[in-house]
Amino acid sequence: MNNSFLNMASIGDFDPLNASIPATKVEITVSCRNLLDRDTFSKSDPICVLYTQGMGNKEWREFGRTEVIDNTLNPDFVRKFILDYFFEERQNLRFDLYDVDSKSANLSKHDFLGQAYCTLGEVVGSLGSRSEKALGQNNDRGSLEKKNKRSEQAFEEIGRRSLVHFAGG
């Protein structure tokens, strides 16, 4: 028998349960415009919290938080979220915005400003480089801007109110 055939993988060697799923790293940057001002003597001190949704149980889990930016209604957050993008999976994202009122890490201690939903596929697959998502919670004024950096591609989606930037790099 030819030894070259003995060294080749056969279909029986493939185990779909243990195979790694190819993923692309996606960098999301968040900025907001025209947030509600919940503070009396100064402007809001916003923070953005990203939640991802589990595939099996649909439970929202906190993925990460940006830094707090003091006294602004138009924050450009520096901290980025780096996620694995799986082409064939629906990956739901939720961005919650809060006005931080104390040093507490407990979000219930802070004023909720609103939230925006999208999928990672929307971020990666949109054409151009901009998308708008209005913040929820009966808030017509606030907007959430998300930027996605993915090598050699720029994407844009025009939405209703908030700005989402997707720039290659």
Phi, psi angles (nearest 5°) of residue 99: -95, 115
Which of 29, 30, 36 minimizes the C-alpha distance to 112? 36
Which whole-number Å values give the CA distances from 126 to 1, 52, 90, 129, 131, in the listed order? Answer: 53, 19, 14, 8, 8
Mean pLDDT of 117-121: 86
Query: SS3 breakdown of the chain: % helix, strand, coil, rounded to 5?
Result: 10, 40, 50
Does 167 score more than 90 pLDDT?
no
Mean pLDDT of 5-19: 55
Per-residue confidence band for 153, with pLDDT thresholds at 50, 70 and 90: very low
* Res 58: pLDDT: 86
Per-residue confidence band for 86, with pLDDT thresholds at 50, 70 and 90: confident
Does 154 score more than 70 pLDDT?
no
The answer to which of 7-21, 24-38, 138-152 has the lowest mean pLDDT is: 138-152
Q: Read off the pTM.
A: 0.72
Does 138 score more than 60 pLDDT?
no
Q: Are 89 and 109 in contact (CB under 8 A)?
A: no
Mean pLDDT of 87-110: 91
- Going by the DSSP 8-state scheme, the letter that residue 11 receives in this structure is G
* Res 163: pLDDT: 39
* Res 54: pLDDT: 78
Mean pLDDT of 121-149: 62
Q: Are 33 and 139 in contact (CB under 8 A)?
A: no
Distance CA 141, CA 44 (A): 14
Q: pLDDT digits over 57-67, tens only?
A: 889 999 999 99
Can you give the C-alpha Rg of the chain in angstroms?
20
* Res 20: pLDDT: 67
* Res 108: pLDDT: 92
